[in-house]
Chain A
Amino acid sequence: MSREAWALSAPVPKATGWQLFLKTVVARAYPRVVGQQRERSWIFFDVFLSVLAISAYVFVYRAIGAPEEYVGFVIVGGAMTAFWLNVLWSMSSQLYWEKESGNLALYIMAPNSMMAILLGMALGGIIATSLRALVILLVGSLIFHVQYAVGSIPALVIIFLLTLTALYGLGMMSASLFLLWGREAWHLANLAQEPIYLLSGFYFPVKNLGFWVAAVASIIPLTLGLDGMRQLLFPSGAALGFLDVRIEIVILTVLSVLFLVAARALLGYMERKAIREGRLLESRR
């Protein structure tokens, strides 16, 4: 028997249980991380477009004589837009795109957990987008000479990681909602850009929207995440902050657990509903 024939006839070790779950997570994260880095022009455009948007807001602040710290607020907010756009277009609406391209049925037929696929998408998205956000932060800070005064590095790391966990949990939760949508998915994702930039205070401290608006907006993890990070990154951040950073960490922890649990429950429900209503293979362009 030749070596090739022997290799083909040898039994393939099959992963089951947690091994299968973890392998699925890694397999779905892989194209996110590697694929996106291969498309170098996209990395350029992602960074370039974000820096353009940031620059326009920075020049507005300079035109109206804002304190220089507001420039730093814009840079941090602008870097975090990368995560919101990733959650919106590559998490929430991803199952809709998968349905359009015919992959969704394959995901459901394969002997793996859909939750593992969503986790893989989230993990890959976090890694790939973190690189972009970091570049945006560095480029923006260098161009506009932003000065940082980090209060507590551990608190900053904790709040950043909790923000991403809660945010991608929200993305996983809404992905199942998008499963049921057709043509409207694109428009609804598009609708969730500027209003969230406004409500979450991407370009100004969210405290300025008033307590109740900021409180309602806190359901989007980036609202408290951005507020907490600004408090820890800039000297006047605490004075302009919405809530105490410790309270924000507690709320973000609760949101992380809540969104991940809800994502699991909602995904199961929506998958059953979509199968029952025959929506998994429909393509309403």
Chain B
Amino acid sequence: MRRQWDTVWRSFRIATWLGWQIESNWTDPFLFAVYSMIKPLASAAILVVMYGVITNARFENPVFPYIYIGNAFYMYVGSVMVGVSWAVIDDREHYRTLKYLYIAPIRIPAYWLGRGIARFLTGSFAVLITMAAGVLFLRVPFHPAEVDWPLFLASLVLGVAMLAMMGLVLASISLMIAHHFFLIGEAVAGALYLLSGAIFPLEVLPPWLRPLGFAMPITYWLELIRRALLGDAARAFPTLAAFSNGQLLGILGGLTVLFGLIALFAFRWCDYQARERGLIDMTTNY
């Protein structure tokens, strides 16, 4: 048992280091820092300009921090969930090393999660920069003394774990597909962006789409993050006002466990199918 855990830990640790090298060493540290800042800031600035144009820059309205914080933390979805699943495509199609990884003494899911950690780190940097810009220049209400830190940390850890599990499910599916590999992660992230109320309250969605929003775990995660950071201002929107923080944490925890189980079974099934069909060393040149 201990030996198995050693293998898992080693796979995870080495994959984290490898992922960081792949993410960061394509250029010098200065350009990497600029790259890491420009993308998230530009993405946030699109929403800021849209909001500013329509409301004559009334950034003190509660809807602005709702949009801004939702967009900032949604970056974890792109970095963690898509990042974990992207490792399969990177290794199989680009570096063509997936077959070597399969014959190495490692645990593949632990390796994928490790690769996701590098994306988590770059994603955290993007979230931090975006939040700092919002607080410094756009009056996003952030008062460290008023932040519910235990709730924030618990939500962040649970949320990132949930995203990693969702990433494992996508990675498992990616093992079996060729033609749509880079579109699956983007399609799921795009759908979640629309349906989870990341940048607008769910009440704005047509009534027939709202139930889908309530079925998305990210809806509850972003609500918890907003409540932890904004306090009462986050309760200005009725979407999840009926739920207490404890209930939301319970829902998020339950969904994380559920996705963990789905990820476990999805990996076993897809891994078996991929081996059976000889897809592990597939190179499609797509």
**Is the pairing of A and B real?**
yes
* Cα distance, A208 to B52, chains bound together (Å): 9
Q: Is B285 an interface residue (CB 8 A)?
A: yes
Q: Is B103 an interface residue (CB 8 A)?
A: no
Q: Is B258 an interface residue (CB 8 A)?
A: no
**In the complex, which residues of chain A have a beta carbon less than 8 angstroms from the beta carbon of B199?**
56, 59-60
A180-198: which residues lie under 8 A (CB-CB) from chain B? 183-184, 187, 190-191, 193-195, 197-198
Q: Is the CB of A49 within 8 A of B183?
A: yes
**In the complex, which residues of chain A have a beta carbon less than 8 angstroms from the beta carbon of B46?**
194, 197-198, 202-204
**In the complex, which residues of chain A have a beta carbon less than 8 angstroms from the beta carbon of B190?**
49, 52-53, 56
Partner among A49, A187, A285 whose Cβ is within 8 Å of the Cβ of B27: A187
The prevalent SS among residues of A at the interface is: helix
Q: Is B49 an interface residue (CB 8 A)?
A: yes
Q: Is the CB of B26 within 8 A of A198?
A: no
Partner among B26, B42, B51, B204 whose Cβ is within 8 Å of the Cβ of A194: B42
Q: Is A30 an interface residue (CB 8 A)?
A: no
The A/B interface has a contact count, at CB < 8 Å, of 100
Q: Is B200 an interface residue (CB 8 A)?
A: yes
| Number of chain A residues whose Cβ lies closer than 8 Å to a Cβ of chain B | 38
* Cα distance, A262 to B153, chains bound together (Å): 53
Q: Is the CB of A52 within 8 A of B27?
A: no
* Cα distance, A240 to B268, chains bound together (Å): 56
CB of B96 to closest CB in A, whole Å: 9
* Cα distance, A128 to B242, chains bound together (Å): 49
Partner among B38, B43, B51, B179 whose Cβ is within 8 Å of the Cβ of A39: B179
Q: Is the CB of B42 within 8 A of A60?
A: no
* Cα distance, A57 to B50, chains bound together (Å): 9
Across the two chains, which residue of chain A brings its CB closest to B47? A60
Query: Would you give 18 A-B contacts (Cβ < 8 Å), ordered by A?
Result: A48-B187, A52-B193, A52-B194, A53-B190, A56-B193, A60-B51, A62-B200, A62-B204, A191-B39, A194-B39, A195-B38, A198-B42, A198-B43, A198-B45, A198-B46, A205-B53, A208-B52, A285-B94
